[in-house]
Structure 1
Amino acid sequence: MNMKLAVVCFLLFGASNTLVHSLDSFRAAVYEHNVTFPADRTKILPREEALQVMENNLAVYAQQAKLASDMEARIIVFPEYGLYGLGWTRQTLAPYLEYIPDPNVEMWNPCNKPSVYNSTEVQHMLSCIAKNNSVYIVANMGARQPCKISDPKCPVDHQYQYSTNVVYGPNGDFVARYFKFNLYSDEKQFDKPERVDLTTFDTPFGRFGTFSSLDIMYHDPAITLIQKMNITNIAYPTAWVDELPLLSAIEFHSAFAEGMHINLLAANLHLPCAAYHGSGLYWPTGTSIDGLYYYNDSLESNGSLVVGTFSPFIFPASNDTRTKALGAFSVKSEAISNKAVKVKINGDLFTAIMSRDSYGKLHVCQGSLCCDALFEGDFSSELFAFGAFDGMHTEGDRYYLQACVFIKCANNTPESCGSPTKVSSSYMSKMSFSGNFTTEFVFPEVLITENGVLGIVTKYWLYQNSVIIDVGLYGSPLSISILSRDYSRDN
């Protein structure tokens, strides 16, 4: 999908105006995998049968790694749960697990030396896929790590079970291991590590960090890797449920890359029947080239390989260009006075005002957060909600969120605002959109639709917590939003 969107989004991070994001250009790939797994996941299978399930998925990994290598990709990321799928208990998942050693303690090439550890067939195959295709491979699998009875937290089966990212170099060397720290509330089959892993690995084309899925919503390990350890490339296996209107995979992951000024290689599962889909290569301007993401929620669709080039990116040291762009922005306007109502969006109760107007000024507050918008377009046939949220997000997971949103109401009624929709016929020609957020962690999103197909913007600049649209969108807006995380208030 070729989305040529002339959008400029501005956001300021302290006094740091110049950032360099990689030393060299490099080709990278992510694979959105249509995982195969047993229909009945209530039975405890013998190891041989569990291994056969994983080998079936690994055969697809091998094919996609070769395709990526043929397209000159030097690193490929596969999704979380990509080897055995979802829906397990602690007991039924056990046959799929392997002991995974610490690569910082002992160097190991599983492809060359498969017999060093017992029952490590998956690690052997992943290592050989990397070696046979001369690429870095980042994959997710399950680990079983023995613990002592004297350990008060040791489970009754005397082993910890961790969701684990593993990384193999182009010669097959095992180079990095990460145990997932932030688990979803329904991930009872896995244990939470006692302490967070800050996992990095070096390549000839830059240093990478890795974490998975829900980790992206919390300070550790994500923010510590990026801010304290200066990591600007993140390999990100995920199993992300698409949650419109604000937490679609392509929507939030591209916003995180932009907000944190990083390259994000995000590989998701492809299970559209359960709303798992949306993968991409995202850099500090949203995506590196038009179309470097995959979003297909058709039940007949399959997985897809996304390959593209990351180039060195330098933010301008001067604010002259940004200031000029802001100074040039103007629309005809008049004050709009609408009564505020409560709207539930992604489980959170926003304070919002409704608008069918094609131009005007909007202002809404909740708690200490106030959101302002100046806009012009064509919204005559549809209803939009302009809302603010300042509080603890508690739907499924807990984290403190501040958000300003301008969203399409699904059925053009106030009651439908916040419900998922992929239909819009409106047009946004100009918009200035901002909020007085209390933290620097601000993630701007612009989600559009063309004939019912979702897309994201492709070009961003950054300035003062504001979204600026100055020459119009190709595509109809579904959600123009700014999410901010106040990590200090999570507890």
Structure 2
Amino acid sequence: MTVYQLYHSKWFLSTLSCSSLPANLPWSLWVPIEVVAGAGVKYTGAVLEYEPYDEWGEEGGLGIVRENSRVLAEYVNLAKTQGADIFVAPEYGVTSIKLHQVKGDDLFSLMHYVPDPGFLFAPCILEVDSSNIEAIRTLSCAALENQIYVIVDMGEASPCNIDTASKNPFGNAIDNSYDCPESGYIFYNTQVVFNRNGTVIARYHKKNLFLEPEFMPGTEPDEQAVFTTDFGVTFTLQVCFDIAFLHPGVTNIETHGIKDVVMSTSWVDILPFIIAPSVQNGWSRGLGVNLLVSGYHLPELSKLGSGIYRGFSNMAHDYVYDPESGNKLIVSEVESVASVSGKSPSTPRKSGKTSLSPKGNNSIRVRGSAEGSIKLGRDHLFLYDDLSEFSREILVHGESSEPHQAEVCHQDGLCCSLSYTSTSSLNYTFMAYSGILVEGFGVYKVYAQICSVVWCQTEDISTCARVDDQLPENDEFGPFTITGNFSVGHVYPMFLTRNLTLVQNDLYSIDGNGYTLTMSTEVPTQSLMTTGFYARWYQRDP
């Protein structure tokens, strides 16, 4: 009997009934509840800020993926005890970014076979002895044992010739997306979705790679990133740098009316505008969607930030952005709308926000460290954008509460206006820009339009947003109103303090008339770093 035949046999299907439910939950909690398409629905999301294990030992890549999948499975269990319906792990959460330092057989030891979602296969049942399925089997079993949706990111080895295809226990078709390399495999940065039975129901190959030469970009239609849950909510997937582009997230939101997005990331902060919580909250609010983000924690390489952002519902956000946080699980309820009718298991839920860290009683320890992955006194690396081509006006230092006006314009007819009051003696600059921005150490070019107020150390624009130098005392800026006449409709707000915390969404309003948008506050903002709008002109990307 083949694996496929085994999986679809009456014997195996019978094992997915009562016996597959977690033993620590009474059967009465699993009475189905009706879900009606178009009606409001609540679910509980769990996102993990995680620093993966990355020590290369005698087991090589297997040791890394084995340890990370074990720890992630424990966090899946912990999320379920908090009532979570869906759990999200970060980009490179299984392999670690050690993947970028190895080649050949060592690189392949970090890769995994992933079944075609059309097979509706649960890797948990697989008894094949192969190191390249260990993590996907472990995490499939975690989803099954805890009856929870699990989204993980892993390196995928996709066979592209007959010989390597014969080694894939899932029997996927030969991958003809690219010319087949000498290894016989095409490697992808892949998000995998397991349903409550541990079945792979979606597989998304990251389209917009960021300095990832080991991988090829995904070529499948954007719909391959979409999946629907038994609680009636349809999600779209995206990975890290995808958030800067149309595909797949924006396209699926606008084409299919999707209101909920799952994102795995290994972020890189670029001040003053590309900062994890600011970008993620602004994208969520600008598109009117809920965004669940799980981030890789390594502040020394500018990697941190995870959260649940509710741009579709009440605008509240639960997030962590702290170099000292180590591994941290955020569990919180989300309001959405059902896209399909059906029946969902009724599970106990925690109201509000629950943040769990290895420091507390719910500690999950990573091998080799008595305190998980926490390292005290950690450095936080920041990169900076070149602002020299921005139009700008230095704002007057505040000595009274009298109102002031400023206006700056740039290319493509972009003009930004500002009305503000300020009692601050610090330096603030009002900026406008329309054109190409170069990111990723000169590799990637995106077309953007920006209207922004930015705090600067001095009147020199090269000192703007330099939070890695000594910060000044707290001050107050505003109230203010910023208006920009953009050329596009994809405009995202940004509002961050010098303490690198978000300003609550209910403390400022956003109004629009066509492509003209206005942001207003009614009270002063303390320790402002950056505020305004960041618009993306996707169609003009080089």
TM-score (norm 1): 0.81
Once the two structures are TM-superposed, the CA of residue 484 in structure 1 deviates from its matched residue by 0.3
Question: What CA distance in whole angstroms lies between the structure 2 residues aligned with 1:287 and 1:89?
Answer: 45
Superimposed CA distance per residue, residues 417-438 of structure 1 (whole angstroms, 9 cap, x where no aligned partner): 2544583522134111021111
Deviates more, 1:195-204 or 1:456-465: 456-465
What's 2:54 paired with?
A: 37
Identity between Structure 1 and Structure 2 (%) = 27
Question: What CA distance in whole angstroms lies between the structure 1 residues aligned with 2:307 and 2:40?
Answer: 21
**Matching residue's letter, 1:403:** I
Once the two structures are TM-superposed, the CA of residue 153 in structure 1 deviates from its matched residue by 2.2
Unaligned runs of 5+ residues in structure 2 are 1-36, 163-175, 339-382
> CA separation of 1:220/1:237 partners in 2, compared to 1, >3 Å: closer, same or farther?
same
Report if aligned partners of 2:313, 2:335 keep a CA contact under 8 Å in 1. Answer: no
Question: What CA distance in whole angstroms lies between the structure 2 residues aligned with 1:313 and 1:413?
Answer: 48
1:94 aligns with 2:108: yes
Determine helix, strand or coil for the equivalent of 1:463.
Answer: strand
1:400 aligns with 2:447: yes
Q: 2:385 aligns with which of 346, 349, 360?
A: 346
Q: 2:334 aligns with which of 310, 315, 318?
A: 310
**Matching residue's letter, 1:131:** L
What's 1:135 paired with?
A: 148
Correspondence 1:420-459 to 2 at 5 A: 420=467, 423=471, 425-449=474-498, 452=499, 454-459=501-506
What's 1:241 paired with?
A: 268
Question: What CA distance in whole angstroms lies between the structure 2 residues aligned with 1:22 and 1:350?
Answer: 46
What's 2:287 paired with?
A: 260
> CA separation of 1:280/1:98 partners in 2, compared to 1, >3 Å: closer, same or farther?
same
Question: What CA distance in whole angstroms lies between the structure 2 residues aligned with 1:21 and 1:251?
Answer: 30
What's 2:93 paired with?
A: 82
Q: 2:214 aligns with which of 169, 185, 189?
A: 189
Report if aligned partners of 1:444, 1:482 keep a CA contact under 8 Å in 2. Answer: yes
Unaligned runs of 5+ residues in structure 1 are 1-19, 40-44, 315-343
Question: What CA distance in whole angstroms lies between the structure 2 residues aligned with 1:148 and 1:293?
Answer: 44
Larger Rg: 2
1:409 aligns with 2:470: no
1:374 aligns with 2:419: yes
Question: What CA distance in whole angstroms lies between the structure 2 residues aligned with 1:152 and 1:59?
Answer: 33
What's 1:364 paired with?
A: 408
Report if aligned partners of 1:21, 1:232 keep a CA contact under 8 Å in 2. Answer: no
**Matching residue's letter, 1:427:** E
Superimposed CA distance per residue, residues 314-354 of structure 1 (whole angstroms, 9 cap, x where no aligned partner): 9xxxxxxxxxxxxxxxxxxxxxxxxxxxxx96235311111
Superimposed CA distance per residue, residues 422-468 of structure 1 (whole angstroms, 9 cap, x where no aligned partner): 8352213411102111111000011014xx45334233654212111
Determine helix, strand or coil for the equivalent of 1:398.
Answer: strand
RMSD in angstroms over aligned alpha carbons?
2.6
Would you say how many aligned residue pairs link Structure 1 and Structure 2? Answer: 428
What's 1:336 paired with?
A: none
**Matching residue's letter, 1:137:** V
**Matching residue's letter, 1:405:** S
Once the two structures are TM-superposed, the CA of residue 197 in structure 1 deviates from its matched residue by 4.0
Report if aligned partners of 1:410, 1:421 keep a CA contact under 8 Å in 2. Answer: no
Report if aligned partners of 1:38, 1:53 keep a CA contact under 8 Å in 2. Answer: yes
**Matching residue's letter, 1:141:** M
**Matching residue's letter, 1:134:** Q
1:463 aligns with 2:487: no
> CA separation of 1:96/1:161 partners in 2, compared to 1, >3 Å: closer, same or farther?
same
